[in-house]
Homo-oligomer: A and B are copies of this chain.
Amino acid sequence: MANYAGHMSKRLTGREQEVWHAWKRAAEMVRMRVGADITAATGLSDGDFGVLTRLVDLGEGTLRQNELAESMGWHRSRLSHHLTRMEARGMVKRHSVDAGVQVRITAAGERAAAASRPAHAAAVRRHLLDLIPSEDRASLVQLLETIASGPDS
């Protein structure tokens, strides 16, 4: 059987493995390092920080739950569980509106987000941004967006 595009073989070639392993290791390392730094400095998880800052930056304090899920790239149930935990800690409040749920940041959530931004920025710079030569950034973003949009786009 022919193999014109390299898509038929039953396992990854050495070159393919090299890309895959480099990708996985880098993604895992950045996730672990940024997560550990943020949690140690602020007590928030990376997910907490993402929720709070999106509410502030995208919605001036409030978003539909579904918009929030979309902007984070999270599935509904994941966000639902996460908001349940954050609501219990007083970071956000939910109330139902037409055909959905509105999520609003609390005063405590705003304080936590504001207080955490410097540590978050420092961690992201240290573990990711500073390691990318500035002349590579634009093309990297384009590639990452292509990857994020997926095979069916």
Contact = CB atoms under 8 A, between A and B. Distances in A.
A44 interface: no
Contacts of A121: 9-12, 16
Interface in A108-153: 117-118, 120-122, 124-132, 136-137, 139-141, 143-148, 150-151
A26 interface: yes
Interface residues of A, number: 53
A133 to B, nearest CB: 8
A85 interface: no
A-B complex: 6 closest residue pairs judged by Cβ atoms: A22-B144, A26-B144, A27-B27, A26-B148, A10-B118, A11-B117
Interface of A: 6-7, 9-12, 15-16, 18-20, 22-33, 50, 73, 75, 117-118, 120-122, 124-132, 136-137, 139-141, 143-148, 150-151
